[in-house]
Structure 1
Amino acid sequence: MAAERPRRIHLAMSVGRPAGQLWRRKNSRIEEAFSLPLLSEVARAAEDAKFDALFRADNLRLDPSRVRASGPPHYLEPMVVLSALTARTEHIGLIGTASTTFNAPYTLARQFATLDHISGGRAGWNMVTSTVGEENYGDQPLPSKAVRYARAREFVDVAIGLWESWAPDAMVFDREAGVFADEARIRPIRHRGEHFSVDGPLNIHRPPQGRPVLVQAGRSDEGRDFAATYADVVFAAADNVSSAQAFYADMKNRARRKGRDPESLKILLGTHVVLGATEAEASALEREWVEGIDVGKAIAYLQTVVSPHLRLAELPLDEPIPLTLLEEAEALREEQYQRGAAWLRTHHGQTVRQLVIKHRQNSLHLGFTGTPEKVAAELAELFHERAADGFVLSHSHLPEGLELLTQGVAQALRRAGLFRNDYDGPTLKHHLGIA
């Protein structure tokens, strides 16, 4: 009987702009933020380091008031960017975000099938149920969370049906008999549901992976159930170890209750890292980041996250947030503010200034500052403590931060025997070790 392969860390790179105010550094290359040469350079560095995947986030709205201080938004359209990167990479996975709220399943099924084909089986779809952006898509009020997730479940069922509408052996390519494909192995799906009516079949044959890797990032009960049902990968967010461990255990248990092998569901924890060649250099970079934060604007933004009803701007900057305000936040029932209220509770006792700086640095994610060896050791500890199967990382600054991440951190994990020396196969599913 073959020995079970030991667990190893999975790494994805979030492709965006430099962190916080580090775009202001003289050599930040911020002018190239939207250029394909720079994006390709980042992608190839991650691939040379044997990262599992690149990840492109997305946002369907823009707040102009944030652009002045924060630098350019990093929301180039994911499918266009990833399609361009297929020609500049050979092995690394390509995960893009697309909404089930503002799209049609036939369109997205075609797009991700195309990406999977032209990349040779490296496509992944981060499935999101949008909570913002309705003003740009007809200006109708967003449906409730329950309706959005009901739509999402039907959306994914339709997409999977379309990807599977071509049998694996439907393509014949029999030149002598003149048979390109066996039409009996191509079937319409004839879906009629509450939200969609789709006949099919898809006009693209079965993707190389069968279906692209499915990724999900919701933390609500509805989101967790959705992920346990459909996802191959969950992007997790936590700003302390205990909450990361609790989320990890809950998702594995949910997968088990769905009849799945819990190890087939990979939990990748979002992290923000600031790397330096020395501890002093890393600390200096973090100070540079913090000193560039406009506290007034940061308070205004944090208030939109935890609730516009809270009066953060009226509180003394260097005094702890009153317990009554936390209770007021927790009493709110608007779904988009529940996570922010819980975040406030976990940081009870900190001042307004401390809170807004922490939020601007790491949002609601874990953050690490130090040398590659130190950060790698902290990531390894989280991995061993079953807080994550891997991590979604981003370079804090260019060009040094990218090299310290892809060479320093990845190499330190490799020396510890926790990260691959080379890719195991051609597809993203191979990289993730999923069937």
Structure 2
Amino acid sequence: MSGMRVGVVGVGYVGLTTAVCLAERGAHVVAVEVDAAKVDSLNEGRPTVDEPGLRDILVDGLARRAVSFTTNDRFMADREVVFVCVSTPEAPDGSADLTAVEHVVDRLANVLPPGAVVVIKSTVPVGTTRWLAELLQPNGIHVACAPEFLREGYAVHDFRHPDRIVLGVDEDVAAEIVGRCYGPLSSPLLRTNLESAELAKYASNAFLAVKSSYANSLAALCDRTGADVLDVVRCMGADGRIGTDFLEPGPGWGGSCLPKDSAALLHTARRHGVVLAEVEACRRTNEAQGARIADTLRRSVGRPLRDMRVTALGLTFKAHTSDTRDSPALTVCSQLVSGGAHVQGYDPRLAAVDPGVLAAAGVSAVDDPYRATKAADAIVVLVEWPEFAEFDWYAIGEQSPGAVVVDTRNVLDGELVERAGLRYVGNGRRAFGTGGTG
């Protein structure tokens, strides 16, 4: 693909990763973004998203003049392939808001040369790409759908080592052009029609949501029966038909994909008269996790939330990112605050988290974990940051003796926490020592 002229529209997690990684592979990439401040930052080598490894690839691409960023659509005029990577947020009725995608396609229609391929990487409902293809057909522009499967915190790794590439395309010529753009692949390229590619993305994310909610339901059952959820999911995961991914219980699932994609899938299903009861149920289970954790705190501490000082360890939607979009950790914090608790929060990426988001959740941010946990009645682990297991729990026990540690992610050594003079409560775990409540 050396020297192939590629365009990218949108520089969020997906767009920026796509731009710099394609430049790394030898393409000449121009990325268009409407936010001039982001463009300036990127052209100066400062990433606008918090993603491991991204800065080095960005700086290298800029130095080689393999990638550049602009607000001007006219730089798309000579592009062979353009990847559309703008957001499709959830609308009030659960559908995907396609305003940004429609706006981008209208702009590209006016500048792209005939024969170019527009590749929709944005997550869009079934039928969207075909509709866009019909709009662009008079201009001689091809359209394909290549949904992304990048994990935040691992986006660069996943782009370099995808487990599959899904390409929805009807025309062989468009498939050949996009194939050249990706270059030699060590992973399978799964070619489908446009509708199958669109639905594959929604179906994948909804299935992960179902699996994660099932793990949380199992944890609740383990709490009642004396079983240990870690043993249960270890036995399940050993079955090759099931696997271990997304079987870890927690405070619920969130982020930029699972909530909106499961809602959009349900909206599409309802439009077509199909009931996806499994997805509906998993969303109800997810919504119940905050109340379940609040109830665990009340029972374990033995007094109302309004009388508690609670420390929340972890505020992002998952480890290895500063993203707080639909963060289950903040959902739990909001629930505790609404019950009257005073909540202080610490996160390893606190410096990159918008203070306004924390204020909206009622969380007082503290940039040191030991200050955050001082004089706490309860400490709730809400994100699976590995650093939390490495804390000096004896020091925490000395300044908060007898505090209850509710480990919703099961990342701590429960026996060590108990030896430190604290009371450990795992998520679906058996009791530890005399103080654990399971």
TM range (shorter): under 0.3
TM-score when normalising by structure 1: 0.27
Which structure would you say has the larger Rg? 2
Q: TM-score, normalised by structure 2?
A: 0.27
